[in-house]
């Protein structure tokens, strides 16, 4: 049986000097070490155990702070639509790593999900497929054991079978650094948790065979200037921009990830009145010419070249049929009439939920350069 005793200050100091804990710290749910921000939470008996009932929020161990190690818990749920799991390297409730289970997708390729949370925004529409989720069938109304191992930029997830990892996370998206651990449940179906424990380990061993994410191809835009957020309504009816309007006060240079996707929520979150940002580059052309750019976005976009509106589109969840997920990909293209010299290309990207992002690729870069400025 694992100990539920809280380590002494001397023990903690000794373990810090060693670079990690030599044992798992099991934390009862009635401990004052837990902090919770949720719509509903309570400690109650469930399926023969003392458990945490959680809905619509996050519960975390306030004095946990480490970079590499493990996180384990048991979870029980029904087959209702829900999103429940664990979180680690948590800086605050708005910025953390997360893995959750989707009971209503039991047996499907997206039965679960790894996603970073930046400024309160998850990114499952940006991060999907291999390395982000794996198929598994869940038993309902039973305890399911989950173990998450995180080491550097990689991680593994075990569900029920503790010998073989179900999911190999090849590239976690936050910078590697210390944070807190905890549990998370969406506003949909609740979940019960029991047997929560964690362990700080300097270099956890990883068993999985990791597949590197497909790298960004030649011509991918590798960095953007991203504006402060503004209201999507500000662009209604607009077919052109000028030098003096629709130009936010602040811009931030944001690099694309290794896949070429740029997660705009790295800069800021959204609100009801500010859910849109410009992503801007300057295309310098040696001559007047037309060049194709392929692109993907989430959720909606308007594309301006030299202040003129060229395109508007929606990739919103369920916008095309009831099963449409709105995941990002190079599904759209434009033929840009470039003038000689600098050309300002702006994507006004609007977000509702699920991932705020952009990717763009110039297949032919002969005679042009693309600069974030």
Decide if pLDDT at 7 tops 70.
Answer: no
Threshold 0.85, pTM exceeds: yes
Confidence grade of residue 14 (pLDDT, cut at 50, 70, 90): very low
Confidence grade of residue 133 (pLDDT, cut at 50, 70, 90): very high
Check residue 22 and give its pLDDT: 58
Check residue 215 and give its pLDDT: 79
| Residue with tokens 């470039």, as numbered in its chain | 338
Mean pLDDT of all residues in the chain?
93
Section 249-277 average pLDDT: 96
Fold adopted by 223-371: Jelly Rolls (2.60.120)
pLDDT in tens, 285-343: 999 999 999 999 999 999 999 999 999 999 999 999 988 999 999 999 999 999 999 99
Check residue 211 and give its pLDDT: 80
Which CATH architecture fits 9-200? Sandwich (2.60)
Domain ranges of the chain: 9-200, 223-371
Check residue 212 and give its pLDDT: 74
Section 77-103 average pLDDT: 98
Phi, psi of 48, rounded to the nearest 5 degrees? 80, 10
pLDDT in tens, 170-224: 999 999 999 999 999 999 999 999 999 999 999 999 999 888 777 788 999 999 9
Decide if pLDDT at 16 tops 60.
Answer: no
Check residue 240 and give its pLDDT: 95
Section 18-47 average pLDDT: 89
Same fold, 9-200 and 223-371: yes
pLDDT in tens, 38-56: 999 999 999 999 999 999 9
């Amino acid at each position: 049986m694992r100990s539920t005793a809280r380590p002494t200050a001397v023990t903690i100091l000794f373990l810090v000097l060693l670079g990690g804990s030599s044992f798992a710290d099991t934390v009862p749910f009635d401990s004052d070490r837990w902090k919770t921000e949720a719509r509903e939470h309570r400690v109650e008996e469930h399926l023969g155990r003392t458990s945490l009932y959680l809905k619509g929020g996050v519960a975390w161990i306030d004095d946990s702070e480490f970079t590499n190690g493990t996180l384990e818990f048991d979870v029980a749920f029904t087959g209702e639509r829900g999103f429940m799991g664990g979180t680690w390297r948590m800086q605050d409730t708005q910025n953390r790593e997360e893995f959750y289970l989707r009971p209503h997708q039991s047996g499907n390729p997206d039965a679960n999900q790894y996603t970073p949370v930046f400024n309160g925004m998850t990114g499952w529409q940006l991060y999907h497929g291999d390395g982000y989720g794996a198929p598994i069938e869940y038993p309902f109304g039973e305890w399911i054991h989950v173990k998450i191992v995180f080491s550097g930029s990689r991680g593994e997830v075990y569900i029920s079978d503790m010998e073989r990892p179900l999911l190999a996370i090849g590239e976690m998206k936050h910078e590697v650094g210390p944070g807190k651990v905890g549990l998370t449940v969406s506003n949909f179906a609740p979940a019960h948790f029991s047997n929560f424990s964690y362990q700080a380990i300097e270099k956890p061993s990883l068993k999985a065979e990791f597949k590197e994410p497909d790298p960004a191809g030649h011509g991918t835009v590798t960095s953007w200037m991203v504006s402060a957020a503004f209201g999507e309504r500000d662009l209604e009816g607009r077919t052109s921009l000028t030098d003096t309007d629709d130009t936010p006060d602040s811009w931030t240079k944001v690099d694309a990830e290794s896949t070429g996707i740029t997660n705009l929520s790295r800069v800021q979150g959204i609100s009801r009145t500010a859910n849109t940002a410009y992503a801007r580059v300057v295309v310098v052309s040696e001559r007047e010419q037309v060049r194709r750019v392929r692109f993907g976005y989430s959720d909606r976009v308007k594309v301006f070249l030299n202040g003129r509106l060229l395109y508007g589109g929606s990739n919103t969840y369920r916008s095309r049929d009831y099963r449409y997920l709105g995941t990002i990909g190079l599904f759209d293209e434009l033929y840009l009439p470039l003038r000689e010299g600098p050309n300002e290309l702006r994507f006004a990207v609007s977000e509702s939920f699920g991932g705020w992002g952009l990717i763009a690729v110039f297949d032919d870069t002969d005679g042009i350069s693309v600069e974030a400025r």
